[in-house]
Structure formats: C-alpha cells, structure tokens
Structure 1
Amino acid sequence: MLDKREPIIVEFPLRGEWLSPNTPGTKIPSHGTNKLGTRYAYDFIQVDWKRKGWPAYRGSLLQYLLLGIPINEYYCWGREVYAPCDGVVVQAKDGYEERERTNFISDLSNANKNAHHFNPQKDDVRSVAGNYIIMECGENVYAAVVHLQTGSVRVTVGQNVKKGEVIGKVGHSGNSFAPHLHFQLMDSSDIATAKGLPCAFKQYEVFQNGEWQAISNSIPTAKDRIRFHNQAIETIV
C-alpha cells in the first residue's frame, strides 16, 4: 500500500483476465487527481498478452493512430460487470451514447478537456462518467462502476443487489479514452463532490513465474496480469 488508510475489502467486479493500467497499487492518486472521488480508483482493460505492447484491441497500432478502432474490436467491450458488494442501488444512469470508435487525437483532447475544465456546479456528470451505477455498500461507503455500455444497465434505483450479480456491461461512454471499466469507492453517492475511499479485492489471481498465484485482500499493480473466475465465488461468498 502507498497510503496509510486501511482499504475496504470488496469482490472483484469482473470475470476473466484483466490489466489495471491505473491503480492505487502503483500510485496515489491513481488518476492524478483527487477530484470526482477518483483518488483510489481503478481502470480495467483486457489485452492480448501475446502481442507486443499488449494492445487492448484487435486492429493494428497504425489503424488506431490514423483511423481509430471500432469499439466492438476492443476485447473488454461488452464484458459483464458484477456487483462488488451486497447493497442498494442509489443511482443508475443509462442512455448516454458511446462514440462508435476510438480516435487517438480526439479522445486525448476530450480527456484533457474534461480533466481540466469540468465544473461540477454546472456540467452534467455524465459527460465524465457516461453510463454508471452507484451502490451503497455500507455506512458512507458507495461503489461506482463507470463508462458502461449504452443500454446495458440492468438495475434500478432502490433495488437490492447481491455481490456477484450482473449489473451492467463494460463500455466507452463519457470521458473514456478507450473501452474500459472504471471502478471506485467513495464516501458519498454524489460523484461530483465525493472523496475516494481505498479498497482492495477479496480474492483474485496473479500470473507469476509461469503460473497463477492466489491473492487475497490485496491491490493489483499496473504490471499485474490478473484474473477472477466464477468458480472462485464459492470460496468467498
């Protein structure tokens, strides 16, 4: 840990293999800012571990730089997102359109614009978060899954959800540089004013020295090849 605060333990919100390029296991603030509750936030993508540079899409680097990549060519786009805790849905926003393809220049410009000029008093938080779900997981503890696929939100406000239930799908809505899942814990249900809370995952695996190693109550780094599978739920519920 790079911070003295004790992390809150939650279930990993995805299944299969993932990489976290932005994680509090490598730096805090993980996204370079404390705004919008992102101090301890994670980003998760899927990559091709066999290709040079671990690309997150099926096309070539040249295609990405010049023409962009259709979002359905990203490995993680449309993957199911799971509730990280037992809790109540306090916000569930859908219908915010995704850009149909990534484009290096425009996406970088959009990310910089939102990072430096977003005004929580007058701007729509969905311009940053896109489609999102916020769950109350405990007293003053709220989990947010952000940038979800348009039309994928499966829960409604007031709904009681059990950890491990499918609640949405990974998308590219809002201030998203490429399809990915943004996950964070906060002390408020209002993303615009919330402060981030540190969290760790109850169980997952890391690929080390040619084999998968079980990890408990820990935080992945930006270099870790991590996975979590359905059968693991039986050991943590």
Structure 2
Amino acid sequence: MKIQALPQSIINPALKVRDDIKSDFVLKALILANDGTGPLTITKLTYGLVALNQLVKEIVYPGDALTERLEDGYQQIVSNDPWILKSMLGSSIRWRPEVMSKTRVLQPGQEAVLLNEYFIAVAAQPIDAVEIRVQYQQNGIEASERLVLPVTDYHTRNAYTFPLKGVWQVSGNYDFYFGHRTHYALEFSIDMEKLNNDGMLKWKDAMANEDFVSYGQQVFAIGDGEVVDCFNDAHWRILFHDDFADKEKRRMLKQMEEQVGRMPLQYGNYVVLKHAHGEYSVYAHMIEGSVAVQKGNHVRQGDVLGRVGNVGFSTGPHLHFHLMDGPDVYSARGLPCHFTNLMDCRRNPLSLIQQEYTLVMAKP
C-alpha cells in the first residue's frame, strides 16, 4: 500500500487557552493506493496527534465508520467540476475518478480518499506531528503502513497592516469548518463587513448596496508589492448555490466563464499582490471600475486598491481577503496572515484573527 497526504506538512495556528494550547488544523486529503498484486481490504485507520513525542489524542476509524468516510470522499471527487476540485485540493495531485474506490476494498491500481479531516486538541503543548497508521489485509496477510506529517505554526514573512479602516466584523474564519476552510487556497481567508456607529451590522431583505455601511469603503494594500493580477469590469452578482442549481443559469455561467475566466466570475473585481518572501495577498468583490491599479504596478503599504463591493460569488457587500504562497487562487496554499495594527473590541492588540465573528479595529 502507498499513502499520500495533502498537504505534506500541516499549518497549526495554535491558540493560547488559559494555561493550555488549542491546536486546530486540517488534513485536506489522504489517498490510499493499492500498489500490490492482489486486492486489499482496509481494516482500520488511526490518526495519532503528537506533541513533543507524546501521544495527546487518537482518532480511530474502524470498518463501517471508515467506509462512510471513503464513500464521502469518492462522491466529492467524482461529482465536483475540475475548478472546484482544484480550489478545494490544489493542483499537486492528479485526481483519477476512474480508478477510485468508494469502499474499503481496493483492487490492484485502485485508490481511496478521505477529505478534510479536522483535528482539535487542547494540551500543554501544541501538536507538532500527526502519525497516520493504516491497517489492511492482502493476500491473506495482515499488514500496515505508517506516515508521519509535521505540524507547525506559520508566521507571515512580512509586516502587514489591515486592508480596511475602522471597526469590522470578521467572518468565514478558519474555525468555521464549512466555508473557506474546505478550500486549499482559502483555508485562512476572511470576509469583512463594517459595523455602523451603533456597533451594529445592519441587514434586511432587499437592501440596496448603498445602504450597507461596508459598501464603497476604501481597500488598502497590506504591504509593499507588485500587482500580478487584477480585474475591474465585473458587474455580475452570483448566488452560488441557487444559480448553479438551475440548469439554464448554469449554462449561462459556463458561457460567462469562457468569456472572462473563472477568477472574475467568482471573485468579481479583484487584486492579487506579490509581496516579498513568496507571499501573495488577494482582495475581492470590489465595485466595478473602482480598482485603482493595473497589472505590473508596484504599490506601497497603505495604497488604495479599490472599494468594497458586491460582485462575483457574493451574498452582500463585503471584502474577501486572504494570503497564499503563490499567485493562483486555485492552486496556491492558503496562509495565516498576521497584522501589526489591529485591536480587538477591548482595544487589546490582536495579530492573528482566530475566531469567527471577531470584531476588529485597525489603528491609524
């Protein structure tokens, strides 16, 4: 048997919780391949969470539970279009639905996959390794394979300032498991909506864009960089689940994608900046015509890039932002982004946003 993991090293933005450390991280994909000459049956999968060579927590998938996870992985691979798969899982693995199994039995050359395994552990030390052990039967023999993945924290290589001014509510954070975090490049993405003077997020049905406090707010470069991609002509707004569920709308969206590309379709008007040390920042859903830069421009920290809008895959006016390790949002890896000028609602310094619906204020 051959085991392959994505990613091969895991980012764990450890959080101090009183006297302990909370580790919260995800293994995007685990691929189990039968590279032998006879069929094999996977009998058990075990994840061991380790800190300083000590086992902190163990997660075990025996027969039926493992079958359920493998079937779920199979369905996600065979039912999603290539863009969604690339966004969810990057481009380092070539997915081959034709050789995938949805059961614990793998014929020679077949593969099975588990997707988005989330881990949480609270201990005196942060988790620094995941030990993966797969037990199986093949040709009448009990056997096992083992893989150890390093788990590390990540600190941004540059000093960044928040891309907005004033008080904002942050959502879609990495501790919300069913949004951005299911995607490889978007794992540490955040969406930001501005609060009004009463500290409220005003929302009602059929509100005009201009009635939202967020709409039209200036978006700033988090650091010095080069514009490696941008778009400024998007006027469309797409409700992803509703519009893609309609066959005729899906056909129209496919035509739009062929004309403008997937990135503008999804992110509307956006800017991608290349910073020093291999980090890239993304700013999305901005107002049509508001993007103030062009590809190839060099910007300084604090330069205006555009204005908060409501285009692309957007449910309301907000800024989508994330940091990644490459220029392509469909293949790069998402990274946590630390800021130098943030405060929480108690005016305490805040570097990394680690909780859903955190209220933040950017210092001048």
Using the size of structure 2 for normalisation, the TM-score is 0.51
**Do the aligned partners of 2:181 and 2:188 also contact (CA within 8 Å) in 1?**
no
> Does residue 83 of structure 1 match 2:221?
yes
User: How far did residue 110 of structure 1 move?
Assistant: 4.0
Structure 2 partner of 1:143: 281
> Aligned residues: percent identity?
24
Larger strand fraction of residues: 2
Name the structure 2 match of 1:42: 190
Cα deviation code 1:58-86 (max 9, x no counterpart)? xxx3xx1xxx2111111101000000111
Q: Distance in 1 between matches of 2:352 and 2:335?
A: 15
Deviation at 1:32, TM superposition (A): 3.8
Q: Separation in 1 of the partners of 2:213 and 2:362?
A: 16
Identify unmatched segments of 5+ residues in structure 2. Answer: 1-12, 14-23, 26-151
Aligned to 2:362: 228
Structure 1 match to 2:168 = 18
Aligned mate of 1:55, from 191, 201, 219: 201
Number of corresponding residues:
205
Give the secondary-structure state (helix, strand or coil) at the position aligned to 1:201.
coil
Q: How does 1:1-237 map to 2 (within 5 A)?
A: 1=13, 2-3=24-25, 4-8=152-156, 9-24=159-174, 26-27=175-176, 31-35=180-184, 37-48=185-196, 50=198, 54-57=200-203, 61=204, 64=205, 68-99=206-237, 109-110=242-243, 124-208=262-346, 212-213=347-348, 215-230=349-364
Using the TM superposition, give the Cα deviation of residue 5 of structure 1 relative to its aligned residue in structure 2, in angstroms.
2.8
Other structure's SS at 2:167 match: strand
| Structure-1 separation of matches of 2:284 and 2:245 | 18
Which structure has the greater CA radius of gyration? 2
Residue matched to 2:129: none
196-205 vs 154-163, which deviates more?
A: 196-205
The secondary structure found in structure 2 opposite 1:171 is coil
TM-score (norm. length: structure 1): 0.76
Instruction: State the secondary structure of the residue aligned to 1:109.
Output: helix
* Larger relative contact order (Cα-Cα within 8 Å, sequence gap ≥ 6): 1
Deviation at 1:140, TM superposition (A): 2.6
Q: Aligned equivalents of 2:178 and 2:302: distance in 1? A: 27
CA distance in 1 between partners of 2:304 and 2:312 (Å): 21
CA distance in structure 2 between the aligned counterparts of 1:38 and 1:17, rounded to whole angstroms? 23
Q: Give the CA deviation at 1:29.
A: 7.2
How big is each residue's C-alpha offset from its partner over 1:159-193, in whole Å with a ceiling of 9 and x where there is no partner?
11111111111111100111100001112211222
